[in-house]
Structure 1
């Protein structure tokens, strides 16, 4: 199902991307899951074929396309699996937009072309061992010494953290700021920076092919030229970009629900018990009807929001609604689909097992369900 905002050109982009993924991704997803990362070769294949960072201006090697193309990239990667989608979408349509919007001309020339080509992998480091949803409570600091910032602190749960060539680090350049969020800045730390090292690659319940790691800064010396935007404006930059990030998460989990439903519908039609197809039981039919209804509601809402986002509307409340409701809906779908698969659903050889493991974290990252409800309430009572 697609919204009215998708043109023939969008559909051509989807068809070409899907054809490439059928050759370069689907046959290897289990191997990527086993090795706990997507190989750089695949990133470069995406870049070489014009699928990475579709919104980046032609001046920096991109295609200058609208968000509809980013939506398609996220959808088609998610059909392969949540692991590949999370890291690539984060790089392509969450991290890179910070560079393009807030970077200097020199910064854009330095990082954007190789991000588009797939030569560079990027990450954004917000979460810390003691600060997740509470961004104002971060403890990573950056003090200025001459032409350098000296960074100290730790970050965790960082998608692309182990393999990133550059990381946008959320840190405090003014620890005395009141309120605290006014002291937050964004500084780009590059691979090889003295004092910057990687911690362990984290062993997650699901999304195994998504590289997730710890970052450590011990007197890390970062050139002042790597400050992104202005000092003290980092929190505001983050708030501005979270609308697109959360919309992308909602799109991804919507696809997960659709894929799990497809797998289960096909399974119950072919699997027999008590001399009839499982699909013939009324309980199965009711479960399918319930899931199909919720999935259709999610799809229609997502398409509506994407059209508004492309038009430049501020839809913070609506995106927060989509992020929490569709994430929770997908969790319900995952549980029902696994149940309808019976014992086979618990076997790793069945795709539903992987997708069941992958889905719960969607209600946690990019803002928990509880944070989303708080934002919605504030918008309602404003």
Structure 2
């Protein structure tokens, strides 16, 4: 019998019941704690007010602060990016979304969509022009793929780029674009005679506008816009030279979906912690409701799904760091973790009772935010079909 097997196991930690922190390196914990402390200081005291007003004031200041802690494009290398591991990036997403999905969306769109597209498919000149400022938060980026009538079928996009001499002229509209009206550069995907191409569009180019979308009941502490491209003329060097076809935007989406796998568990954790705390202090029939069997059953089920989801995120992160993560595995993670996160939020609401709908608690805010996370960057149905095709070899998309 080994010495290790004779040692008593460490005490049970209700906040880390599977002991996942034991798998993290000191650098991983440092990244997590830095982001957690930033969110506790700069988001949590104000986010309920932002959500209620439907605004994200000071978004440019927040972006610069996120840049200063290395959270923008953090898994990319060079050009001022942190070069963090996939697990570290995931831990950051979890902590950001534990504060609010809108804040994690700001970071995901900046780093995993706009910066990732330029870093992977851009020319060296494009990388030098945009990435250092984006990593520092001095330049905010957005990602234009979804259109008003085109969501899950991006191959049918109507935005078109035509050649005019050596220039490109873009015309079309994009919808539900995070960061759109505060962006300095928009990565826009458009049909061309040679296939779908990506363009780095400076947002001060004549013909480009980004009206903000109002009246949202989800992701209210987030900037969401429409992009309008009215014969936007761009030089030849605006096109991303490294890719043609849908594999370009879809690879960006896969990278961003990976962050959602972690982030959704942050929202779930916030709701779970609120439910545990509430159950210890709220009394009914002469004692705390946490002492009743039905409440404990709910909390146990929530804890199981929460930490299974975090374990899954850890596993996918290790695979990404090893260069072995497949898009189907990302779909597996997004499908499971967002779906379970919503159920955890709904169960937490039942434990808080009427207080569960109050913005004094985070539960309803996270629940409504996750309704957006459920459908953006791939609906439940699309991820089910991705997995269905992988399991059967049969394509059921059409």
- TM-score, normalized by length of structure 2? 0.89
1:162–1:102 distance in 2 versus 1, CA, 3 Å? same
Tell me if 1:368 matches 2:379.
yes
Structure 2 residue corresponding to 1:41, chosen from 42, 46, 61 = 61
CA distance in 2, matches of 1:18, 1:230: 36
Shift of 1:82: 1.1
Could you tell me which residue of structure 1 aligns to residue 29 of structure 2? Answer: 11
Report the more deviating stretch, 48-57 or 262-271.
Answer: 48-57
Tell me if 1:83 matches 2:95.
no
- 1:188-245 Cα shifts (integer Å, max 9, x gaps): 11111111111232321121111111111111112221101257x1411123333222
Structure 2 residue corresponding to 1:260, chosen from 255, 271, 275 = 271
Structure 1 residue corresponding to 2:312, chosen from 301, 304, 312 = 301
- 1:1-35 Cα shifts (integer Å, max 9, x gaps): 54666321121222233333333332232343335
Q: 2:140–2:185: 8 Å Cα contact kept in structure 1?
A: yes
Could you tell me which residue of structure 2 aligns to residue 243 of structure 1? Answer: 254
Shift of 1:56: 3.0
Report the more deviating stretch, 110-119 or 23-32.
Answer: 23-32
Structure 1 residue corresponding to 2:186, chosen from 157, 161, 167 = 167
Could you tell me which residue of structure 2 aligns to residue 316 of structure 1? Answer: 327
Shift of 1:126: 0.8
Could you tell me which residue of structure 2 aligns to residue 100 of structure 1? Answer: 119
Tell me if 1:126 matches 2:133.
no
Could you tell me which residue of structure 2 aligns to residue 217 of structure 1? Answer: 229
Shift of 1:267: 0.5
1:268–1:370 distance in 2 versus 1, CA, 3 Å? same
CA distance in 2, matches of 1:102, 1:194: 25
Give the aligned length: 373
1:22–1:193 distance in 2 versus 1, CA, 3 Å? same
Q: 1:200–1:214: 8 Å Cα contact kept in structure 2?
A: yes
- 1:71-104 Cα shifts (integer Å, max 9, x gaps): 1221221121111111122212332111111111
Q: 2:87–2:314: 8 Å Cα contact kept in structure 1?
A: no
CA distance in 2, matches of 1:122, 1:193: 14
Could you tell me which residue of structure 2 aligns to residue 180 of structure 1? Answer: none
Q: What residue ranges of structure 1 are gaps of 5+ in the alignment?
A: 178-182
Structure 1 segment 101-116 matched on structure 2, within 5 A: 101-116=120-135
CA distance in 2, matches of 1:223, 1:4: 52
Residue aligned with 1:193, SS: coil
Residue aligned with 2:222, SS: coil
CA distance in 1, matches of 2:22, 2:240: 36
Shift of 1:263: 0.7
What is the aligned-residue RMSD (CA, Å)?
A: 1.8
CA distance in 1, matches of 2:94, 2:179: 19
CA distance in 1, matches of 2:81, 2:325: 25
- TM-score, normalized by length of structure 1? 0.93
Could you tell me which residue of structure 1 aligns to residue 396 of structure 2? Answer: none
Report the more deviating stretch, 270-279 or 21-30.
Answer: 21-30
Q: 1:142–1:171: 8 Å Cα contact kept in structure 2?
A: yes
Residue aligned with 2:323, SS: coil
Shift of 1:259: 1.5
CA distance in 1, matches of 2:291, 2:88: 40
Report the more deviating stretch, 346-355 or 258-267.
Answer: 346-355
Q: 2:212–2:223: 8 Å Cα contact kept in structure 1?
A: no
Tell me if 1:157 matches 2:182.
no
CA distance in 1, matches of 2:134, 2:327: 28
Residue aligned with 2:94, SS: helix
Q: 1:44–1:117: 8 Å Cα contact kept in structure 2?
A: yes
Structure 1 segment 175-214 matched on structure 2, within 5 A: 183-214=195-226
Report the more deviating stretch, 43-52 or 303-312.
Answer: 43-52
CA distance in 2, matches of 1:49, 1:293: 32
Report the more deviating stretch, 358-367 or 14-23.
Answer: 14-23
